[in-house]
Amino acid sequence: MSASVYERAIAVWGETAQLDMILEEIGELVVAIQQRKRGRITNDGVCEEIADVGIMLEQAAIMFGETSVEAYRRDKLARLEAKVSAAEDRLAAGMRP
């Protein structure tokens, strides 16, 4: 099986550099969200930074353990589903979510 582009990026630049890139891209996303809230950039500018962070997080999952990340993702999504359902029920009953 051939290495994914994520695995190749880690091999070429190393884990330390890619971890630095994760932090840099997250910082860019934080700035983009703040700028969007102030109307200084469009949604597209935020979308670009979301894509950047997503690409870096895929590499982080490879570095730290994809199986574990996926297990946490499944558990946390199930918990979110339960919380959203409970909040929807409260809203339907005229209560605060």
Binding site for Mg ion (CB under 5 A): 25, 28, 49, 52
> Can you tell me the distance from the alpha carbon of 72 to that of 83, in angstroms, rounded to the nearest whole number?
16
Smallest gap from residue 53 Cβ to Mg ion (A): 8
Pick from 24, 13, 10, 26: nearest CA to 64 = 10
Nearer to Mg ion, 7 or 48 (CB): 48
CB of 48 to Mg ion, least distance (A): 7
For the CB of residue 6, give the shortest distance to Mg ion in the complex, in Å.
16
Nearest residue (CB) to Mg ion, 45 versus 69: 45
Report d(CA 97, CA 90) in Å as an integer: 5
**Residues 6+ positions from 12 with CB-CB distance below 8 Å:** none
5 or 80: CB nearest Mg ion: 5
